[in-house]
Amino acid sequence: MVGFIIRRIAWAIPTLAFVSFIAFFIIQLPPGDYVTAYAAQLKHSGEYLSPDQEELLRQQFGLDQPIFIQYLDWIGNILLHGDFGRSLEWNANVSDLIWDRLGLTLAISTLSMIFTWAIAIPIGVYSATRQYSFFDYVFTIFGFVGKGIPEFMLALVLMWLGFVYFNFDVGGLFSAEYATAPWSYDRVIDMLKHLWVPVVVLATGGAAGLIRVMRANMLDEMGKPYVETAYAQGLSERQVIWHYPVRVALNPFISTVGWALPALFSGDIIAAVVLNLPTTGPLLLKALQMQDMYLAGSFILILSVFTVVGTLLSDILLAWSDPRIRYG
Amino acid sequence: MAGETLPPMPPERLIELNDVAVHFSLREGLVRAVNGVSYHVNKGEVLGVVGESGSGKSVTVRSIMRLQPKTALDAGGAIRFRLPDGSVTELNRLPRDGREIRSIRGRHIGMVFQEPMTALSPVHSIGTQIARTYQLHTGASKEAARNRAIDLLARVQMPRPREMVDVYPHQLSGGMRQRAMIALALTCEPSLLIADEPTTALDVTTEAQILDLLRSLQAEFGMAIIFITHNFGVVADIADRVAVMYLGRVAETGTVDQIFYHPKHPYTRALLQSIPRLGQKRVHRLKTIPGMVPDPFNIPAGCVFHPRCEHAVAGRCDVAEPASRTFDGGQIARCHLADSLPELVS
């Protein structure tokens, strides 16, 4: 087991180095750079930058250097000083911009993932053990509808319901008076009041799909001979179901739990824009539009790190839960 | 119910099935998978149950364990089992997930399945699986259960039982897995072991080893065995008595000698003649049974075997279903012609 983990970690390091370079490289791919986008924006509002001024800005931002040098500068600062560079657009340190939002993103992601699993696993098991029963059909319908409704749509409907019928101040993660206030007990309570909408929105779509996965896995597993063996030992139905087929049916969940990190980090962009959440999604979208390369690059780098680390985590978890992987 | 009118079981009787019927209600119609099966097993005795695929052998033993698929319908008959304290339970009346049947499964009746590759949980070690059963029925401590598992693995002749106890099924060969499966079934020293084709998935060398093992374990533990197989050679090897099944009925039962040397039912005879024997005269081709096992939705009228029987008498065998007839030495056959068949020439 220890050897397995060390091997996996050793593989993760070159992957990360490669991914960071690709991330930086991709940001540079669109024609032009931040200065071009900036000049275009200024022109839009009636101002004008001369070619000399543009050149000066480029020198100032270090954009005239070859890509490889820019990359080395950037990654060197990250590794040595934890400095992700400055956002050209926001004229602020990337780390200041990101970490604040990152915490909130992680909070929402984790909550909605726990919520998703807490809904999906018991319902999937129930649906499979009572296949074709009334509630199985109810959950099936819920599953397809939940999967079919786009998240932003659900977000809009919930916001409307909350606003019209319950007079909630929905949208955003904080009420106006707490938006910029330092963390306090009241601020946390205020956040929890706003948090349920995004959590429900994100969990509905996720749970709908996972119920189907869990149900299908369980139906596969319950037909296997080892389940009959377990019954033949005198275990009750509940003991058999939860100790045997559920253990095996959970494998796909465990092997994808790592992906939940990056998926929730970027996948909730539309819902986050609609709900006006101060999470990372909308910020990333803006950075990409403006070719704010250090900000966007850092985002994509963090996203990739999450992907790699997440995959590593789920691999380790899977090996822990399924011996066939550990010794495979 | 039949149970009220049945004579009490003799004291040496461990389990007795009377006229057991299990039906499946499918979209295509009703399948009478088991249609009036009667056999019994005495304490410490090995009963071989022989039959083709679909003859209802496995469904019958699953109704002993109350482990039929959820679509199965109990269509009558009685299954009586004697507990170690001497009392008799009617297994067919127990609810399928009830406390009573659960305290019998794995404790008084152990079961070994056909596929050692898939019949053990892939995510639990061998020792964990045995220990769980032991703890469930005896309430023993974890430590004691683990020692019990090691002891059992040693008794089924697994090499290095102390290491094997932590091994997972996928790390073992087929024969070793079947040994582990047998150890699991014997965890609580049951008085009845049901072995559902335990050697079918194994190669012949391993099969011989497993049969040897079962024989020596039977001598050691003294449990009775219901051994299901479609292989007459295996039956001759391990069984005391034999039940031959065809299309959900018992065609014939008797001791091994009776069945092999004086078969009374044409089906038993035909099966025996289809087995090659060493030293047999080489003049004729090996006999086969004509035709196929009938479609379960169209069971023939009269004797179910008559379309394939070379002795069938028109107007009798295709009209009336033969009753079970008992002969000398307790041999029972379901055939109109059971005592008037020509002597066998082998």
CATH value at residue A173: 1.10.3720.10
* A224: contact with B, CB 8 A cutoff: yes
Query: How close B172 comes to chain A (CA, Å)?
Result: 12
What was the pLDDT predicted at A21? Answer: 84
Residues 6+ apart with CB under 8 A from A272: A198, A279, A281, A282
Most confident stretch, A191-205, A283-297, A310-324, B2-16: A310-324
Decide: helix, strand or coil at residue B51. Answer: strand
Distance CA B142, CA B163 (A): 17
- Res A235 pLDDT > 70: yes
- A3 lies in some domain: no
The band of A90, judged by pLDDT with boundaries at 50, 70 and 90, is confident
Helices (H), A29-150: 34-44, 51-61, 67-81, 94-129, 134-148
- A149 lies in some domain: yes
Say how many domains are in chain A.
1
Average pLDDT over every residue of A55-74:
80
What was the pLDDT predicted at A316? Answer: 87
What was the pLDDT predicted at A289? Answer: 78
Comparing C-alpha atoms, which of B246, B233, B318, B234 is closest to residue B289? Answer: B246
Q: What distance lies between CA B313 and its chain's CA centroid?
A: 32
CB < 8 Å to A320, chain B: none
* B280: contact with A, CB 8 A cutoff: no
What was the pLDDT predicted at A163? Answer: 81
- A94 lies in some domain: no
Distance CA A248, CA A229 (A): 15
Q: What separation in angstroms does the CA of A212 have from each of A40, A207, A218, A233?
A: 48, 9, 10, 30
* B106: contact with A, CB 8 A cutoff: yes
Give the number of other Cβ atoms within 10 Å of residue B70's Cβ: 6
Distance CA B118, CA A248 (A): 13
What was the pLDDT predicted at A264? Answer: 60
Could B168 and A244 be called an inter-chain contact, meaning their C-beta atoms sit closer than 8 Å? no
Helix (H) / strand (E) containing B220: helix B204-221
CB < 8 Å to B114, chain A: 225
What was the pLDDT predicted at B64? Answer: 94
Domain that holds residue A169: 100-266
Determine the straight-line distance between the first and last CA of chain A, rounded to whole angstroms: 11
- Res A326 pLDDT > 80: no
Distance CA A13, CA A27 (A): 22
Which of B103, B119, B170 comes nearest A229 by C-beta? B119
Could A232 and B171 be called an inter-chain contact, meaning their C-beta atoms sit closer than 8 Å? no
Most confident stretch, A57-71, A163-177, B15-29: B15-29
Distance CA A63, CA A65 (A): 5
Distance CA A139, CA A135 (A): 6
Residues 6+ apart with CB under 8 A from A56: none
* A235: contact with B, CB 8 A cutoff: yes
Could B120 and A226 be called an inter-chain contact, meaning their C-beta atoms sit closer than 8 Å? yes
pLDDT in tens, A110-167: 888 888 889 899 999 999 999 889 999 999 998 888 888 887 888 888 888 878 887 7
* B120: contact with A, CB 8 A cutoff: yes
- A31 lies in some domain: no
Q: What separation in angstroms does the CA of A113 have from each of A103, A116, A202, A251, A276?
A: 15, 5, 8, 16, 20
* B136: contact with A, CB 8 A cutoff: yes
Q: Which residue has the tokens 């018992």?
A: B250
- A80 lies in some domain: no
pLDDT in tens, A257-278: 777 667 666 556 666 777 777 7
Run means of pLDDT, 10 residues per run, chain B, 346 residues: 70 93 88 91 94 89 90 88 93 90 94 90 93 94 95 94 93 92 94 93 90 93 93 90 93 93 91 79 74 84 89 88 88 88 65
- A249 lies in some domain: yes
ipTM for the complex shown: 0.88
Could B118 and A321 be called an inter-chain contact, meaning their C-beta atoms sit closer than 8 Å? no
- A62 lies in some domain: no
- A13 lies in some domain: no
Distance CA A296, CA A288 (A): 6
* B110: contact with A, CB 8 A cutoff: yes
State the amino acid at position B185 in one-letter form.
A
User: Count of A–B CB contacts within 8 Å?
Assistant: 77
Which of B115, B136, B171 comes nearest A233 by C-beta? B136
* A324: contact with B, CB 8 A cutoff: yes
Name beta bridge partners: B127.
none
Pick among B96, B121, B125 to test the A interface (most A CBs inside 10 A):
B121
Query: How close B119 comes to chain A (CA, Å)?
Result: 4
Could B170 and A323 be called an inter-chain contact, meaning their C-beta atoms sit closer than 8 Å? yes
Q: What separation in angstroms does the CA of A73 have from each of A17, A65, A66, A78, A302?
A: 14, 10, 11, 9, 17
CB < 8 Å to B67, chain A: 228, 231-232
- Considering only residues 30 to 59 of chain A, which have any Cβ-Cβ distance to chain B shorter than 8 Å? none
What was the pLDDT predicted at B1? Answer: 43
Helix (H) / strand (E) containing B243: strand B241-246
CB < 8 Å to B113, chain A: 225, 228-229, 232
CB < 8 Å to B103, chain A: 234
Pick among B61, B70, B123 to test the A interface (most A CBs inside 10 A):
B123
Could B123 and A233 be called an inter-chain contact, meaning their C-beta atoms sit closer than 8 Å? no
Comparing C-alpha atoms, which of B331, B335, B338, B194 is closest to residue B255? Answer: B331
Which of A232, A244, A322 comes nearest B106 by C-beta? A232
Contacts of B137-142 with CB under 8 Å at 24 or more apart are B137/A234, B137/B103, B137/B106, B137/B107, B137/B187, B137/B188, B138/B188
Structure tokens given for B32: 């009478």
CB B277 within 8 A of CB B232: no
Q: In chain A, which residue's Cα lies nearest the Cα of B124?
A: A323
What is the phi/psi pair of residue B289, to 5°?
Answer: -90, 120
Contacts of A96-101 with CB under 8 Å at 24 or more apart are A97/A283, A97/A295, A98/A280, A98/A283, A98/A295, A98/A298, A98/A299, A98/A302, A100/A278, A101/A278, A101/A279, A101/A280, A101/A283
CB < 8 Å to B168, chain A: 323-324, 327
Structure tokens given for B339: 């005592």
CB B58 within 8 A of CB B252: no
Average pLDDT over every residue of A92-108:
78
- Considering only residues 169 to 208 of chain B, which have any Cβ-Cβ distance to chain A shorter than 8 Å? 170-171, 181, 184-185, 187
Distance CA B190, CA B187 (A): 8
pLDDT in tens, A303-325: 788 888 888 888 888 888 888 87
Distance CA A218, CA B28 (A): 27
Pick among A233, A237, A243 to test the B interface (most B CBs inside 10 A):
A233
Could B110 and A232 be called an inter-chain contact, meaning their C-beta atoms sit closer than 8 Å? yes
What was the pLDDT predicted at B283? Answer: 61
Could B184 and A323 be called an inter-chain contact, meaning their C-beta atoms sit closer than 8 Å? no
Could A229 and B168 be called an inter-chain contact, meaning their C-beta atoms sit closer than 8 Å? no
pLDDT in tens, A30-56: 777 777 777 777 887 777 778 888 888
Structure tokens given for B84: 């170690």
